[in-house]
């Protein structure tokens, strides 16, 4: 694991919901710092401000020998970084050099990153996946098991020292050098916001309290307007205007977006339950969504945990100045330190 370096600061007075939601998500995921690399959670590699993964551990746990569903979004982010126009050469801090180092590491393993953002084999080979040996052709997608075992040997469980630790360290430093480089910062931000919008607009199946399954999007459940147009205003004259969010409503959906990155199925289930009881945008909707997310027993979301996700999200939001302090402090706070108090 390598911590991020350069901070990602949101412009003062920013009123666009997508920008605010993405920034708050990054503060919880990486401390809003570029260059954070995680290679200790079974995903082979997690990188980017909002932490995109190289492989899906669930796909490897339920191996179907179809490499197309193994790879995560970090490869598409890498493809975006490849298209960045590098700035002036800056001694050892050369963007082209940082990119070339990652490309060299991939090539050493017989892989290349295609224009569609998929890691593929440079030439035909026999791949060992679990107990099977499979024939792969040049251009085929690389199996997730191979990616995991190459970046985090052996089998995703890197030892604390020795040859395998050194291999993983070399990969981590190469990726860190690229993701930390300032020339690629804006590309990472835009990719992350696009990803947030995509998962918000994506249609999926939700099972309602009456057990009826319906096709809906998160946007249809939690937003009153196109998410890309939503903005925040405290002006009473704008209350109820299309696309205008109150600070309370914005904060609630920012918390949802942050938690969704960590566990989308859990966050979506909570959002659905709240949306069945309260109209999106209402005070009751915001209150119940924050409480439901903040008291969830999933992972480390519970507000009782001093360094859990709720407390870290609240602390970042409170310190940012983006929302009125009254939303966090006082008897009627929407996002208090103790949700049960």
Any idea where the domains of the chain sit in the sequence? 17-187, 202-327
Q: Are 280 and 245 in contact (CB under 8 A)?
A: no
Distances (CA, A) of 101 to 131, 171, 233, 262: 32, 10, 45, 30
Q: Is the pLDDT of residue 13 over 90?
A: no
Q: What is the DSSP string of 62-99?
A: T--S-GGGTB-THHHHHHHHHT----S--TT--HHHHH
Q: Is the pLDDT of residue 106 over 60?
A: yes
Q: Is the pLDDT of residue 89 over 90?
A: no
Three-state SS at 100: helix
pLDDT band at 90 (very low <50, low <70, confident <90, very high): low
pLDDT tens across 217-254, in order? 999 999 999 999 999 999 989 988 999 999 999 999 99
Average pLDDT estimate for 156-169:
94
Per-residue pLDDT, 41: 86
Per-residue pLDDT, 262: 92
Looking at residue 166, the DSSP 8-state letter turns out to be H
Q: Is the pLDDT of residue 297 over 60?
A: yes
Two tokens, residue 201: 């607009």
Could you give the CA distance from residue 213 to residue 287 in angstroms, rounded to a whole number?
Answer: 26
Per-residue pLDDT, 341: 67
Cα 276–chain centre separation: 26
Per-residue pLDDT, 185: 96
Q: Is the pLDDT of residue 88 over 80?
A: no
Please state the pTM of the whole predicted model: 0.93
Two tokens, residue 177: 């050098």
């Amino acid at each position: 694991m390598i911590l991020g370096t350069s901070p990602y600061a949101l412009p003062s007075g920013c009123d666009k919901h997508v920008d605010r939601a993405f920034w708050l998500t990054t503060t919880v995921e990486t401390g809003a710092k570029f260059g954070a690399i995680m290679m200790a959670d079974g995903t082979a590699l997690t990188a980017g401000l909002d932490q995109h993964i190289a492989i899906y551990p669930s796909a490897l746990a339920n191996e179907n020998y179809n490499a197309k569903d193994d790879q995560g979004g970090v490869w598409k982010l890498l493809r975006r970084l490849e298209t960045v126009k590098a700035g002036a050469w800056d001694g050892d801090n050369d963007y082209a050099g940082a990119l070339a180092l990652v490309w060299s590491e991939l090539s050493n393993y017989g892989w290349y990153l295609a224009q569609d953002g998929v890691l593929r084999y440079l030439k035909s080979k026999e791949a060992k996946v679990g107990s099977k040996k499979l024939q792969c052709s040049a251009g085929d997608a690389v199996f997730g098991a191979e990616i995991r075992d190459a970046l985090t040997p052996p089998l995703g469980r890197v030892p604390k020292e020795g040859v395998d630790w050194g291999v993983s360290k070399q990969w981590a430093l190469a990726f860190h050098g690229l993701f930390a480089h300032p020339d690629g910062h804006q590309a990472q931000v835009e990719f992350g916001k696009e990803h947030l919008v995509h998962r918000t607009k994506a249609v999926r199946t939700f099972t309602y309290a009456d057990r009826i399954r319906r096709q809906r999007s998160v946007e249809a459940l939690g937003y009153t307007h196109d998410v890309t147009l939503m903005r925040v205003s405290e002006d009473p004259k704008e209350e109820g205007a299309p696309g205008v969010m109150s600070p309370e409503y914005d904060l609630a959906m920012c918390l949802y977006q942050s938690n969704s990155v960590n566990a989308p199925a859990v966050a979506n289930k909570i959002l659905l339950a709240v949306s069945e009881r309260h109209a999106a945008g209402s005070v009751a909707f915001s209150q119940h969504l924050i409480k439901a997310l903040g008291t969830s027993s999933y992972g480390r979301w519970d507000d009782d945990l001093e360094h859990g996700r709720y407390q870290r999200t609240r602390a970042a939001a409170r310190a940012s100045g983006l929302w009125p302090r009254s939303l966090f402090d006082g008897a009627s706070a929407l996002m208090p330190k103790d949700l049960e108090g």
